[in-house]
Amino acid sequence: MAAQIARGNGGCGGATADAPAIYRPALQGPGGLNNLVQRAAELRATQHMEEALDTIRKAVTLNPDDPRAAFGLAQISFECWQPAADLFAKARQLVPANADIIRNHALALAAEGETSSAQLLLEETLAATPGWVEGHRILAVQRITEGDGTDFDRSFVIAAKAEPQNVALYMAWFQLHAQRKDWERAANVLRGAQGRLPGNRTLELAALYLASESGDARNDRTLFDTVADVADPGIDLCRVRHHLRAGDPNRAMAIAERHLTGPTARMFWPYLALCWRLLDDPRAAWLDGAPIFATALDLEFSPSELDELAEVLRGLHRLKAPYPDQSVRGGTQTDRQLFFHPHPAIQKTRQKVSAAVQSFIDALPAQDADHPLLGPLRNQPLLFEGSWSVRLAGDGYHAAHTHVMGWISSALYIVVPEPDVAGPAPAGHLALGAPPPELKLGLPPYRHIEPKPGRLALFPSTLWHGTEPFAEGERMTIAVDIRIPPIIKAF
């Protein structure tokens, strides 16, 4: 439960299709199947996607019935925005019971417009294995993004009757509604689960989270005292948010600071920035920069290049509603890694953005091993943690959020409304440093960046950022998260 809650404060990456591990005997030799599959995996890991696809195709040519090669071809084809549903179907024939391949097959079907087939595949699998939590989540998200705002969780209802003691199932169901801030439905799920599993500690922790985040216990500073013995990053994140909301930044700071030397530090840096600002602690300037570590660069795009790019992106916005766990409000988001798409307009944009990011990195202050932006090594190849496009309509915006999995984040503006349509400034502007409004902290943004076609904003992934609502028009961006390089090692 805590790990699920911990994911709630960031990310804009869209749908993913992670690769399962499939191991089977393979041919040996320099040009043999085993080496080709391994080489394709290495190329994929370093994001040389065209070479990875060519290599895995050679492997399949050697043996079309090798499970690893068949899955690899399906997976890399999907990630490269190539037709992949039939390839996943082939992989499923070779490994019929692999849940990961079934999941990715459903994602590929949906991406190719076969949403009914995708959902039928998930429904049939869930009927046989009602405890498959990831399958329920994928099915619900597909229904939500296709515009079903009411009955999207019906597979959870059926599964809970079949497996009434499955805590993980209830928690995934609860989280689905909590991500949408539908507190009433989240509470209903929790009450039903507690009725079947009275005294369950995980459900008790979820109830505390609900009481805090829904506002029912906003000013109760003792809310989490009953679970003081629970040492868990997710619960501590809930505590931090609760104490900030209750007006106690000192207590929030003390909880957050104890995580800074561990693997979950990036979850807490954004909240420490808020604590330090509220307490006039100079470490806020050290963390976020003074002036903040952010820049806006006008990249060299001709009007015709931007028009072509906009048209390509519009064709990729196939969803009808945003993902429930992302920051988009009043718009849609593409799935998969956008910069793996082979269209020349997208690949040219990838090159321009990569060059701009590198210049941003080169201009950073001296390395600081304790700092989330300045600590990672800078002489590493740039890899993308995520890349996607967001298309907002009138009244659309991004809720304030961070990207805890990234190092450097960005927004490249492709289409923006004219000022007389968008509304008075800062309508539609990027707000850097403003906390989530539900925390009610009263901290203003450090800076607004005015959107212009071809303008690229760059900033640390741990910095709070969001988009101010605008009245009318279309606002389309490309966003990128740069993967965190290795961290400086102290001797």
Q: Is the pLDDT of residue 33 over 70?
A: yes
In our burial notation (b when 16+ CB lie closer than 10 A, e otherwise), range 191-208 reads ebbbeebeeeeebbbbbb
Residue 230: domain span: 215-288
Q: What DSSP string runs through 197-226? A: STT-HHHHHHHHHHHHHTSTTTT-TTTTGG
Tally the domains of the chain: 3
- Reported as a pLDDT band with limits 50, 70 and 90, residue 16 is low
> 139, 159, 179 — which closes off a domain?
159
CB 171 within 8 A of CB 200: no
What global pTM score does this model have? 0.90
Do 6 and 146 belong to one domain? yes
Domain contains 181: no
Whether residue 442 is contained in a domain is answered as yes
- In this structure, of 103-117, 353-367, 462-476, the range with the lowest mean pLDDT score is 462-476
Domain presence at residue 191: no
Domain for residue 488, yes or no?
Answer: no
CATH number of the domain encompassing residue 393? 2.60.120.620
pLDDT in tens, 334-388: 989 999 999 999 999 999 999 999 999 999 999 999 999 999 999 999 999 999 9
User: Of 405, 459, 451, 457, nearest to 289 (Cα)?
Assistant: 459
Give domain status of residue 180, yes or no.
no
82 domain residue, yes or no: yes
Does the pLDDT at position 9 exceed 50?
Answer: no
Cα dihedral value 421, 422, 424, 427, nearest 10: 180
Residues 344 and 268 in one domain: no
Within-domain flag for 249: yes
**Same domain for 87 and 12:** yes
| CA 253 – CA 274 distance, rounded (Å) | 9
What Å distances lie between residue 462 and 177, 326, 381, 406, CA to CA? 25, 16, 21, 8
The two beta strands, 328-333 and 384-398, are antiparallel
438 and 341 share one domain: yes
Instruction: State whether 388 and 403 are in the same domain.
Output: yes
Q: Among 21-25, 104-108, 367-371, which stretch is predicted with the lowest mean pLDDT?
A: 21-25
Residues making up the chain, counted from first to last: 491
Looking at the structure, tell me whether residues 12 and 105 fall in a common domain: yes
DSSP 18: P
Nearest CA-CA partner of 111 in 314, 319, 312, 313: 319
In a domain, 95, yes or no: yes
* CA dist list (Å): 353 to 326, 404, 412, 413: 23, 21, 8, 12
Yes or no: say if 11 and 401 are a contact pair by the CB < 8 Å rule: yes
Residues 360 and 446 in one domain: yes
Same domain, 16 and 73: yes
DSSP class per residue in 21-38: P-------STTSHHHHHH
18 and 141 share a domain?
yes
CATH of the domain at 48: 1.25.40.10
Query: Both 332 and 443 in a single domain?
Result: yes
* Rounded mean pLDDT, 181-205: 96
Please say which residue of 250, 268, 288 terminates a domain: 288
Last residue of a domain, one of 159, 175, 200: 159
235 and 348 fall within a common domain: no
Question: What is residue 7's predicted lDDT score, i.e. its pLDDT?
Answer: 34
The pLDDT value recorded for residue 28 is 47
Phi (first) and psi of residue 177, to 5 degrees: -75, -35
Q: Looking at the structure, do residues 49 and 20 belong to the same domain, yes or no?
A: yes
In order of 21, 145, 302, 444, the CA distances from 102 in angstroms are: 14, 19, 43, 46
